């Protein structure tokens, strides 16, 4: 599912990560926080070429929310404003118990996809995002019961081992879809050699999605396109368009990614094509 996909002209699926759950308008005033802002950002991202929108919910004060009600409000706003985009909910959460994290799976209708962190990672100076195998299995089982495809978030080399372990414990539908994440701290070090090793280390037949934080977003998503994978961009992961210039929107980042895909000879997948590619 790697370089051959590039040679065969497989369309690239672009995921737009619109808001996240950490930084807010203090990092970039264009980052959406309310359901209405997130819905409008999703519509713009879809128009720019995104097939998937990765969603977090916020409280009225801009802080991260976990409740089904807040996710329902965001989902409804996105569905009202978009044509056919695939909705993917986050189940991550530093310091949040699984009872809170699973609430994003309970919207009506359920999201077509949801993120599933593959292991623990450090946050800031004193926080750790705990993702035990029991937590991973419980979230996966609920996704399977609700017909939600997991997007396996792989933050480092150990998490790739956990992907293989999950496949030993559970029967995931093909194709397995893993997001390879590059950056500082607990993440895989952003080096091209590490990127190639990460692709080679995935289970046979798995598809990969590339995510680079901050200044690593542009080079690593470009490599992801070139090596036959799919990509994620957006203000959740990177608030700049270029060094020193804040991005106007996630749609601006999606549009640049779509342009690069065209230059490299890959079609940008529509939501319909993305559903076929991902087996939704």
Residue 2 above 70 pLDDT? Answer: no
Tell me the pLDDT tens digit for each residue of 201-237: 999 999 999 999 999 999 999 999 999 999 999 999 9
Comparing 3 with 86, which gets the higher pLDDT?
A: 86
Confidence grade of residue 257 (pLDDT, cut at 50, 70, 90): very high
CB burial readout 38-51, b (16+ within 10 A) else e: bbbbbbbbbebbbb
Of 42, 11, 8, 5, nearest to 267 (Cα)? 11
* Ramachandran angles phi, psi of 267, nearest 5°: -70, 150
Domains held by the chain: number: 1
Position 1 scores a pLDDT of 57
Among the residue ranges 59-63, 127-131, 194-198, 248-252, the one predicted with the least confidence is: 127-131
Position 275 scores a pLDDT of 98
Confidence grade of residue 7 (pLDDT, cut at 50, 70, 90): low
Comparing 142 with 124, which gets the higher pLDDT?
A: 142
Tell me the pLDDT tens digit for each residue of 42-78: 999 999 999 999 999 999 988 889 999 999 999 999 9
CATH of the domain at 188: 3.20.20.70
Domain of residue 146, residue span: 3-278
Residues 118, 132: Cα–Cα separation, whole Å: 8
What's the chain's length in residues?
280
The HSE-up count of residue 229 (CA atoms within 13 Å, CB side) is 27
Confidence grade of residue 36 (pLDDT, cut at 50, 70, 90): very high
Q: Which two tokens stand for residue 11?
A: 């369309």
Q: Which of 18-22, 63-67, 183-187, 208-212 has the highest mean pLDDT?
A: 208-212
Residue 3 above 80 pLDDT? Answer: no
Position 5 scores a pLDDT of 67
Q: Please state the rounded mean pLDDT for residues 237-246.
A: 96
Residue 31 above 90 pLDDT? Answer: yes
pTM of the entire predicted model: 0.96
Residues 6, 4: Cα–Cα separation, whole Å: 5
Q: What is the 3-state secondary structure (H, E, C) of the chain?
A: CCHHHHHCCCCECEEEECCCCCCCCCCCCCCCCCHHHHHHHHHHHHHHCCCEEEECEECCCCCEECCHHHHHHHHHHHHHHCCCCEEEECCCCCCCCHHHHHHHHHCCCCCCEEEEECCCEEECCCEEECCCHHHHHHHHHHHHHCCCEEEEEECCHHHHHHHHHHHHHCCCCCCCEEEEEECCCCCECCCHHHHHHHHHCCCCCCEEEEEECHHHHHHHHHHHHHCCCEEEECCCCCCEEECCEECCCHHHHHHHHHHHHHHCCCCECCHHHHHHHHCC
Cβ pair 39, 250 in contact under 8 A = no
Tell me the pLDDT tens digit for each residue of 125-179: 777 788 999 999 999 999 999 999 999 999 999 999 999 999 999 999 999 999 9
Residue 4 above 80 pLDDT? Answer: no
Position 125 scores a pLDDT of 76
Q: Count CB-CB contacts under 10 A for residue 116.
A: 25
Cβ pair 209, 177 in contact under 8 A = yes
């Amino acid at each position: 599912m790697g370089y051959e996909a590039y040679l065969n002209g497989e369309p690239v699926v672009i995921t737009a990560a619109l808001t996240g759950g950490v930084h807010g308008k203090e990092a970039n005033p264009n980052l959406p926080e309310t359901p209405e802002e997130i819905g409008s950002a999703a519509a713009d991202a879809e128009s720019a070429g995104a097939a998937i929108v990765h969603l977090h919910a916020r409280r009225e004060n801009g802080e991260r929310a976990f409740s089904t009600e807040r996710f329902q409000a965001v989902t409804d706003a996105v569905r009202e404003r978009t044509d056919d985009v695939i909705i993917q909910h986050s189940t991550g959460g530093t310091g949040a118990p699984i009872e809170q994290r699973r609430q994003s799976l309970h919207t009506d209708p359920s999201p077509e996809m949801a993120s599933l962190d593959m292991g623990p990672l450090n946050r800031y100076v004193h926080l750790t995002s705990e993702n035990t195998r029991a937590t991973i299995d419980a979230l996966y089982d609920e996704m399977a019961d609700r017909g939600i495809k997991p997007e396996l978030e792989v933050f480092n080399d150990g998490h790739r081992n956990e992907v293989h372990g999950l496949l030993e414990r559970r029967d995931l539908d093909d194709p397995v879809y893993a997001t390879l994440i590059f950056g500082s701290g607990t993440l895989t070090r952003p080096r091209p050699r590490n990127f190639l090793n990460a692709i080679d280390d995935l289970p046979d037949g798995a598809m990969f999605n590339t995510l680079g934080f901050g200044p690593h977003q542009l080079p690593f998503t470009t490599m992801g396109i070139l090596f036959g994978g799919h990509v994620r961009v957006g203000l959740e992961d990177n608030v700049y368009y270029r060094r020193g210039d804040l991005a106007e929107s996630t749609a601006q980042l999606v549009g640049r990614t779509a342009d690069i895909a065209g230059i490299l000879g890959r079609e940008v997948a529509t939501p319909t094509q993305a559903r076929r590619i991902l087996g939704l």
